Chain A
Amino acid sequence: MGRWVDIETANGRRWKGTLVPSHDLSGDRVIQLKLDSGYNIGIRIGPKDIVRAAEPPSMDPEPEPSEPPAVTVEQPNEGRWVALLTTGGTIASRVDYRTGGVRPVKTEREVLGFFPDLERDGPVRLVPVSDRLSEEIVPSDWVELAEHVVRVFGEGAQGVVVAHGTDTLAFTSAALSFLLEDLPGPVVLVGAQRSPDRPSSDAFTNLAQATRLARYPELGEVVVLMHEGLSDDRFAIHRGTRVRKMHSSRRDAFRTRDGPPLGVIEGEVISFHEAIRPRSAGPARTSGALDPSAAILWYHPGLDPRRCGAFSQGLRGLVIAGTGLGHVSLAHLPWIREALGSGVVVVMTTQCLEGNADPFVYSTGRELLKAGVLYARDLLPETALVKLLWSLGRSTDPAEVRRLMLSDRAGEFVARHLPVETP
């Protein structure tokens, strides 16, 4: 790769350029060449075509682009620092055009190269934690991440920013919300819907605002910061347990369900719509392990009860995303009873993603309740799953797990559903 080649095809055509990696979806026997003009083209190589190594041509008289002048910001490199934990994902990665893949940024220099004004308000320490796309993250990573947060607070960080892939960012924010206790400062999860190698990336503004929020003195909880709306000038602060990625590509994909976001940043102003959890005197600590033996079942018409019975085998907990107020066909009652009988904690949430799961309105709900299904009010299915992993990690007693599930730990329940539109 990167070599100059001279290709002569059987029909006499010649191509000169640099070999570049072919696209994953390129055709068979197609090689990709970067021409002098900068265009890439695909050439299908036949048995009679000749590919030779070639000398690079003398380049245009174009002067080599000089390094951009260092942006000299007067850096107040004193004061308390913010820890930037990177886990991979769009925000902390760049496309590597030589291999065609995405790779994470690893060094502080590289991050500051992308985000030159990151240290405008004070020093930022980079802590690389992992470098995976967020769909590859597993519950044990949440625990490790929580331990990193505890460690950097112990070392004197004022606040913590976690750069994370957006796909499962809301799971991680919920997990950190349940795992972390006595936070002496904010833990701000942030992502980007456009990679920072694009001039239009939302990574720049999101990271800058997340870093600002991490210095907010009164905040002592886990939040998510992303765009609010499609413009680069408003940012929503979401509570870690109430947020969900609601769009596959928009900048404002993250939405707090069942109410307005916790707060908003507009210009220089950070404001909160409701009471925030104040910071604690510390020290921060994590509360135990997660038991990964739980899963989510998304109910739909025609879902085969036998399949579900098999699915629940070997689990200690199961979250059902039921229809409406939290229903499944009564044909599912037998396997649910069986699972409950063998000690599985079955938690009902609503696949509407807003409003309560409520067993008392319809007979189906009452039947499920009588069987022992735990109705988890307005917990998002994903939050319910994470909370279940955490509860199972705390206790082996199903009754205690059920008690933990229903007690508010990190603002995950909304007591009053107000007659306002959710953005």
Chain B
Amino acid sequence: MKAGLEVHQQLATGKLFCDCPAELSDDVVRTVSRQLRATGGENHTIDPAAAFQASRGLTYRYEATLSSCLVELDEEPPHRLNPEALRVALTMALLMNATPLDEVEVMRKIVVDGSNTAGFQRTALVAVDGSLDVAGKTISIPTICLEEDAARKVSEQAGEVTYRLDRLGIPLIEIATGPEISEGPEARAVAEEIGLLLRSTGRVRRGIGTIREDLNVSTMGGARVEIKGVQDLRRIHQYTSHEVERQEFLLEVTAELRSRGASVPDSPAKEVSQLLGARAEGPIARALRGGGAVLGLGLPGFGGLLKSREGSSERLGREFADYARSAGVKGLLHSDELPSQGIDEFVAQKLRATLGATASNDAFVLVAAPTASVSRAGLEAVRHRARIALDGIPPETRDPLPDGTTRYSRPLPGRDRMYPETDVPPIAITPTLLEEVRSTLPERPELARARLVAEHKLSEELARQIQRSGATDRFLELVKRGHPASGVARILTQDLASLENSLPDWEADRISIETLDALLTAVEWGEFSKEGILPVLTELAKGAPSFEEARARTGLTRLPYVELRALAQQLVDQNAEMVRERGEDSFQPLMGDLMKQVRGRCDGKAVAEALREALADGPAPKGT
């Protein structure tokens, strides 16, 4: 069993099809509301799930921010594809020995969950057939694409989803590996290697959510499934093995359905609300009380196949429920789970008769929602999924769940859901352009790392950390300015990294090299101690305009030696008894106390010297 990885990395080149900055923004300048329809692509077929999603009649609210213009609002045609983003994609292609295409054609990929104002995502294949060596193994890189990121979901309530447009249109490089990865550590190593290559271009966005990984799983006889946004790559094995188990189970169900001659009727969904009446409980009762409708569908030959099998948590019923949920319906009940929700054998018999599911191996499904149209959409989604079950397994995009399983999210955008973006002319990858990119390729990460280790006496791990935080250039510059490599590495990989983790949307790059230079100089001159570094950086991150101002805000001005000496004397006086008894041995406990008092304002060496002097002088005589 093997899986492929898809790495999506945001670029810091400005947006892909307009001139907006590729930055998130909290400044909402206006909100518009829209509806989306399912429309056909090139072959005029409408994806059923998309049709259902659209038929829910959801309203999408879009928050326009300072990082978006009319293009993100779908009020202006896309501009030309961002040439800088294309250069980064070509750089990646060459770094991975891939072949760029002669001409790049931008495509529209239909997505009607509202995350794209246009109802489609723009995407283009840039290069193919690359490869990457990871720990001695060659991993194939079949495709490198350039696409636009989606809007980010802000909130969701009944009938309405709100998205913010700041993220929409940020360029994403999508790098897909072949289905060659089997173990979690390997997946992590591959993802990290790709990540380092991306960072080496110097044009990637950093911070939480700027790089995302999907998992592609294909099985023999089954279908390709894309698991979106796998946070923890260590669990890749768990997700893939669950997926195999799910597909094997569903294939067996299909075989059984076929041998029984099971079928899915075309007859319209039947309203069965009256049959349930006062007996209903749970979600069905709630839907009925709210004036909703319960619709039913008979499924001849499906009896007993909707529930799970012993020793397995998989069940077709859950797949049905997931499809119904994607059409906005939460309440689904099938005959294999009866009695439940107040539906006893007596009611079940009446339902069977009404729904034409009277044979012993027939099943039926009930769908309940607050309105008849939503119920209908949900039932049609179930009908669609039931039809697929007669044939096999649908290719899907699935969401990872914390327990290692996955859940249906939407149909996999395939051939039929892609059609040309006629508003953007094709882009020729000329030999001249390729030569330009080739002549400015960044140093490969492993070579750069070897140099860091050799020239600056860093450990392999520390060198890797510097690369991972994208700070190689800053490291080299600060060392060139005469700062010790270890101190520079510490600030770049520890202090700034921990700040980035604690402050969302903040990036270490915002602190200029001059400021870091001043900070390191102050520390090296003993103006304040290493303990003061993080508080000063925090003030800078919070908006202090300069190093001096940040230091002033922390109160970490250097304590003059005279004052430090006086504080040491005071401490010795207060502990006169101990000092007289233990002499030199009282240094350790007093040093701790004194450090606490002056933390960050003096260097440890100076503190020790002042304390030694005070101890040598001894406590002031009593009474004076």
Give A34 to B41 CA distance when docked, in angstroms. Answer: 14
Pair A200/B36 contact, Cβ less than 8 Å: yes
Q: Which residues of A contact B77 (CB under 8 A)?
A: 249
0/1 interface trace, chain A 187-213, chain B, CB 8 Å (1 if under):
000000010111111001100000000
Pair B70/A249 contact, Cβ less than 8 Å: yes
Interface of chain A, helix or strand or loop or mixed?
loop
0/1 interface trace, chain A 67-92, chain B, CB 8 Å (1 if under):
11101100000000000000000000
Q: Which residues of B contact A60 (CB under 8 A)?
A: 223-224, 395, 414
Pair A197/B40 contact, Cβ less than 8 Å: yes
Give A67 to B129 CA distance when docked, in angstroms. Answer: 36
Q: Is A282 an interface residue (CB 8 A)?
A: no
Pair A97/B420 contact, Cβ less than 8 Å: yes
Q: Which residues of B contact A249 (CB under 8 A)?
A: 70, 75-77
Among B270-278, B385-393, B457-465, the one that faces the other chain is B385-393
Give A71 to B417 CA distance when docked, in angstroms. Answer: 21
Q: Which residues of A contact B388 (CB under 8 A)?
A: 63
Pair B419/A39 contact, Cβ less than 8 Å: no
Give A21 to B118 CA distance when docked, in angstroms. Answer: 24
Pair B422/A95 contact, Cβ less than 8 Å: yes
Q: Is B33 an interface residue (CB 8 A)?
A: yes
Pair A44/B39 contact, Cβ less than 8 Å: no
Q: Is B186 an interface residue (CB 8 A)?
A: no
Q: Which of A1-59 contact B (CB under 8 A)?
A: 13, 20, 23-27, 30, 32, 34-44
Give A420 to B394 CA distance when docked, in angstroms. Answer: 58
Nearest-neighbor residue (CB-CB) of B110 within chain A = A199
Residue among B41, B105, B415, B417 making CB contact with A36, cutoff 8 Å: B415
Q: Given A65-B416, A197-B39, A250-B76, answer yes or no on A42-B105 (Cβ-Cβ < 8 Å).
A: yes
Residue among A24, A30, A69, A201 making CB contact with B37, cutoff 8 Å: A201
Q: Which of A194-243 contact B (CB under 8 A)?
A: 194, 196-201, 204-205, 229-233
Q: Is B341 an interface residue (CB 8 A)?
A: no
User: How many positions in chain A have a CB within 8 Å of any CB in the partner chain?
Assistant: 53
Q: Which residues of B contact A25 (CB under 8 A)?
A: 425-426
Nearest-neighbor residue (CB-CB) of B126 within chain A = A41
Q: Is A327 an interface residue (CB 8 A)?
A: no
Pair A97/B37 contact, Cβ less than 8 Å: no
Q: Is A66 an interface residue (CB 8 A)?
A: yes
Pair A231/B34 contact, Cβ less than 8 Å: yes
Pair B119/A40 contact, Cβ less than 8 Å: no
Give A198 to B39 CA distance when docked, in angstroms. Answer: 6
Pair B120/A198 contact, Cβ less than 8 Å: yes
Q: Is B42 an interface residue (CB 8 A)?
A: yes
Q: Which residues of A contact B395 (CB under 8 A)?
A: 60-62
Pair B414/A201 contact, Cβ less than 8 Å: no
Q: Which residues of B contact A244 (CB under 8 A)?
A: none
Q: Given A23-B426, A40-B420, answer yes or no on A199-B102 (Cβ-Cβ < 8 Å).
A: no
Pair A40/B118 contact, Cβ less than 8 Å: no
Q: Which residues of B contact A199 (CB under 8 A)?
A: 36-39, 54, 110, 112, 118-120
Q: Which of B267-308 contact A (CB under 8 A)?
A: 268
Q: Is A423 an interface residue (CB 8 A)?
A: no
Q: Which of B121-141 contact A (CB under 8 A)?
A: 123-125, 129
Pair B75/A230 contact, Cβ less than 8 Å: yes
User: How many positions in chain B have a CB within 8 Å of any CB in the partner chain?
Assistant: 71
Give A370 to B174 CA distance when docked, in angstroms. Answer: 71
Q: Which residues of A contact B103 (CB under 8 A)?
A: 26-27, 30, 32, 41-44
Q: Which residues of B contact A24 (CB under 8 A)?
A: 425
0/1 interface trace, chain B 41-85, chain A, CB 8 Å (1 if under):
110011110010011000000000000001001111100000000
Nearest-neighbor residue (CB-CB) of B223 within chain A = A61
Q: Is A341 an interface residue (CB 8 A)?
A: no
Q: Is B418 an interface residue (CB 8 A)?
A: yes
Q: Which of A154-198 contact B (CB under 8 A)?
A: 194, 196-198
Q: Given A200-B119, A250-B75, A250-B76, answer yes or no on A231-B38 (Cβ-Cβ < 8 Å).
A: no
Q: Which residues of B contact A201 (CB under 8 A)?
A: 37, 39
Pair B119/A198 contact, Cβ less than 8 Å: yes
Q: Is B104 an interface residue (CB 8 A)?
A: yes
Pair A66/B32 contact, Cβ less than 8 Å: no
Q: Is B143 an interface residue (CB 8 A)?
A: yes
Pair B143/A37 contact, Cβ less than 8 Å: yes
Q: Which residues of B contact A334 (CB under 8 A)?
A: none
Give A296 to B216 CA distance when docked, in angstroms. Answer: 61
Residue among B34, B38, B387, B394 making CB contact with A68, cutoff 8 Å: B38
Q: Which residues of B contact A44 (CB under 8 A)?
A: 102-103
Q: Is A100 an interface residue (CB 8 A)?
A: yes
Pair A200/B413 contact, Cβ less than 8 Å: no
Q: Which residues of B contact A197 (CB under 8 A)?
A: 39-40
Nearest-neighbor residue (CB-CB) of A27 within chain B = B428
Pair B105/A232 contact, Cβ less than 8 Å: no
Give A351 to B103 CA distance when docked, in angstroms. Answer: 44
Q: Is A402 an interface residue (CB 8 A)?
A: no
Shortest CB-to-CB span from B394 to chain A, Å, is 7
Give A325 to B17 CA distance when docked, in angstroms. Answer: 41
Q: Which residues of A contact B387 (CB under 8 A)?
A: 63, 66
Give A117 to B388 CA distance when docked, in angstroms. Answer: 28
Give A130 to B145 CA distance when docked, in angstroms. Answer: 41
Q: Which residues of A contact B101 (CB under 8 A)?
A: 41-43
Residue among B36, B51, B414, B428 making CB contact with A38, cutoff 8 Å: B414
Q: Which residues of B contact A255 (CB under 8 A)?
A: none
Q: Which residues of A contact B32 (CB under 8 A)?
A: 229-231
Nearest-neighbor residue (CB-CB) of B74 within chain A = A200
Q: Which residues of B contact A198 (CB under 8 A)?
A: 39, 118-120
Q: Is B107 an interface residue (CB 8 A)?
A: yes
Best-surrounded residue of B51, B392, B426 (most CB of chain A within 10 A): B426
Q: Is B99 an interface residue (CB 8 A)?
A: yes
Nearest-neighbor residue (CB-CB) of A65 within chain B = B45
Q: Can you list 25 contacts pairing A with B, beta carbon distance less than 8 Å?
A: A27-B426, A37-B143, A38-B417, A39-B125, A40-B105, A41-B102, A41-B103, A42-B103, A42-B105, A42-B428, A44-B103, A60-B224, A60-B414, A61-B221, A62-B223, A62-B414, A67-B45, A68-B46, A69-B380, A71-B55, A97-B419, A194-B74, A197-B39, A200-B119, A231-B32
- List residues of chain B with CB under 8 Å of any chain A CB: 32-42, 45-48, 51, 54-55, 70, 73-77, 99, 101-105, 107, 109-110, 112, 117-120, 123-125, 129, 143, 145, 221-224, 268, 380, 383-384, 387-388, 391-395, 413-420, 422, 425-426, 428
- List residues of chain A with CB under 8 Å of any chain B CB: 13, 20, 23-27, 30, 32, 34-44, 60-63, 65-69, 71-72, 95, 97-98, 100, 114, 194, 196-201, 204-205, 229-233, 249-251
Other A-B pairs, 4, CB within 8 Å; known A199-B39, A230-B32: A41-B105, A199-B120, A231-B33, A233-B33
